[in-house]
Amino acid sequence: MTTGERVTARSRAAGATRSAAPSRRPKRSWKAYLYVLPAFAVFALFLGVPTLQTVQYSFYTWDGISRATAAGLSNYAAVLQDPELRGAFLHAGVLMVFYAAIPVLLGLLLTMVISRANALRGMSAFRTVLFLPQVIASVVVATIWVSIYSQNGLLNQLLDGVGLGSLTRVWLGDYGTALIAIGFVGTWLNIGLCVVLFVSGVGNIQPELFEAARMDGAGALQEFFGITLPALRGQIAVALTLTVTSALKTFDLVYVTTRGGPGTSTTVPAFEAYNRAFNTGQVGAAAAVAVILTIVIMIITALIGRLQPKDVA
């Protein structure tokens, strides 16, 4: 057999092998969609349909009882031009500082301390106490803090006790302190969530990295900024998503503590949507506020998602 004949024979054999090999392209199985169908049906029924109805209402002028009339984009124009609604969104921005920025920073600080004292007795109880506010109903939390911020509440008693009686006031009834007082309640609520997320993230870091850093003479701050903080990017993104979302959609805390007052100093978008829909009969305007709030939350969530590591996102 000549060289050319041997090459031709090998090519034919290789082609026969390729044709005999099974295709690597997976066959699409419609059974998988059947498993997803119940969850999709629940989602569409209880979230998709109400969302579409809210969008539909936002294009009508309707008081909730009489016949609705088409309003086009006038509800959205009114929302953007209304100073009270712009103030409500500004208040939500202030609450984001207390609900998200401060809890994340304090959570990272506490995680740095806890991760180095993890072997101490009672640390698990400490973490449980920090997370406890997350499992208490918001109405109960609001009622507790109304008592604390009252004229004869715990906060004013403490100020009197340390000789700062001139600072005492009804914290939720003062124009200058009501929004900040609500913000501190959000900080108290969310700090435990951040600590639990960050401590669980630290548990996933390989101990060899810390041992190697200590052998190289790294201190606590160098360990934290060189190893812990970069490894917690995913947990920080999750914490920011949850806390920022809770700040933007907060309603029950404002409703129970101040009902938007004094004046309009503590109104937030969710409260404005409720107030216009059920107190002033502006269902279309309330739906427009809800749609804009949803869009703002989705945009901010997408921006925060960019913090996620590529292999996690």
Give the pLDDT score at 221: 84
Residue 177 covered by a domain: yes
Check which CATH number belongs to the domain holding 104 and give it.
Answer: 1.10.3720.10
Give the pLDDT score at 7: 46
Residue 130 covered by a domain: yes
- Please state, in angstroms and as integers, the Cα–Cα distance from residue 119 to each residue in 115, 203, 223, 242, following that order: 9, 13, 18, 29
What's the structural domain count of the chain? Answer: 1
Give the pLDDT score at 25: 63
- The answer, yes or no, to whether residue 11 has pLDDT greater than 80, is no
Residues 110-146 have pLDDT tens digits of 888 887 766 566 677 777 787 888 888 989 999 999 9
For residues 47 and 30, which has the higher predicted lDDT (pLDDT)?
A: 47
Report residue 30 CA to chain centroid gap.
35
Residue 298 covered by a domain: no
Mean pLDDT of 72-89: 91
- The answer, yes or no, to whether residue 305 has pLDDT greater than 80, is yes
Residue 109 covered by a domain: yes
Residue 53 covered by a domain: no
Do residues 91 and 268 make contact, with C-beta atoms less than 8 angstroms apart? yes
Whose structure tokens read 């090519």? Answer: 11
Residues 144-193 have pLDDT tens digits of 999 999 999 999 999 999 999 899 999 999 999 999 999 999 999 999 99
What is the rounded end-to-end Cα distance, in angstroms, of the chain?
59
Residue 183 covered by a domain: yes
Give the pLDDT score at 119: 59
Do residues 266 and 258 make contact, with C-beta atoms less than 8 angstroms apart? yes
Residues 37-63 have pLDDT tens digits of 999 999 999 999 999 999 999 999 998
Give the pLDDT score at 51: 93
Residue 157 covered by a domain: yes
Which secondary structure element, helix H or strand E, spans residue 235, and what is its range? helix 233-248
What is the average pLDDT score of the chain? 86
Residue 270 covered by a domain: yes
Give the pLDDT score at 291: 95
Residues 180-216 have pLDDT tens digits of 999 999 999 999 999 989 988 888 888 888 888 888 8
Q: What residues make up the domain containing 163? A: 88-275
pTM over 0.85: no
Which secondary structure element, helix H or strand E, spans residue 179, and what is its range? helix 178-203
> How many angstroms separate the most distant Cα atoms in the chain?
109
- The answer, yes or no, to whether residue 14 has pLDDT greater than 60, is no
Residues 220-248 have pLDDT tens digits of 888 888 888 999 999 999 999 999 999 99
The Cα–Cα gap between 149 and 181 comes to: 8
- The answer, yes or no, to whether residue 17 has pLDDT greater than 60, is no
